[in-house]
Amino acid sequence: MTRRVTIIIALLLCCTLTHASHWKHEALLNYGVKGGFSSTIYEVNDFVVAGVPISEYVAKSEISSFYTAFVRLNAKRHYLQSEISYNISHYTIEFATSQWNPSATPYELSALSTKIVGFEVPLYYGYHILKEGPYGLSFYIGPKAKFVLTDYSVHHFENSPYDHLSESIYPINFSLMTGLSVHISRIFFDFSFEYGLHNISNGFHTTDILGTPSEESLIFDRRKNVLSFSVGFMF
């Protein structure tokens, strides 16, 4: 998979460099597509399992993917850009079971995994720091809203005190995104950081095997920060 992506990028760059000499000034309006990879980093505010605060844990962020279509309004070195992006993010937090279960052995581990699926819609301002013919470097910043698809989002608790578990994620999450974009003719590479502005968890629903609500509390309040890289093509 990685080899195919590398070959595709190389071919796009070759085509782009071939036509770089025919570069014309950008239009008032551009549109394009991009895709890439991201890594989610949760900033944990409160983590409680079975009523016991969990203070020691290991965060494991898995590589996630996203696919985007965008439109850009240009004004010389400035631009406004809006996007719609389909995003799938994975994250796991692992900790010693003995923190909430004193009878567990020191080597037993529990793990809480989440997969959050949704559509993201950012609106940001960009400025071309460097703009020479077909080559350029720009900086961008702006807000982003994520609309969570709850039916496709999954939560799994390994070695759990609960028989059934589900989490309510706020249906709309807000963040601030900033990044750098490097372009060569119509091809560009984006490097961005997204900072979550609030807790995304609206609480867990836990039940026993008979469906009775569990008395033990589970809290995983967190903000979602994301590092991402993408490759795109602008028309």
Q: Which of 137, 180, 131, 135 is nearest to 16 (CA)?
A: 135
The 10s digit of each residue's pLDDT in 92-119 is: 999 999 999 999 998 999 999 999 999 9
The reported pTM is 0.83
189, 181 in Cβ contact below 8 A?
yes
Give the residue numbers spanning the domain of 168.
2-234
**What is the per-residue pLDDT for 163?**
77
- Mean pLDDT along residues 37-57: 92
**What is the per-residue pLDDT for 29?**
93
Domain containing residue 140: CATH number:
2.40.160.20
Res 18 pLDDT > 90: no
| DSSP three-state, residue 6 | helix
The 10s digit of each residue's pLDDT in 49-107 is: 988 999 999 988 889 999 999 999 999 999 999 999 999 999 999 999 999 999 999 89
Structure-token match 């560009």, residue found:
188
**What is the per-residue pLDDT for 215?**
60
The 10s digit of each residue's pLDDT in 171-216 is: 999 999 999 999 998 999 999 999 999 999 998 888 765 666 766 6
Number of Cβ within a 10 Å radius of residue 120: 21
Count of structural domains, the chain:
1
What is the residue-averaged pLDDT of the chain?
87
Q: Which of 200, 191, 85, 206 is nearest to 138 (CA)?
A: 191
Single-letter amino acid code for the residue at 179 = G
Rounded-to-integer distance, Cα 180 and Cα 178, Å: 7
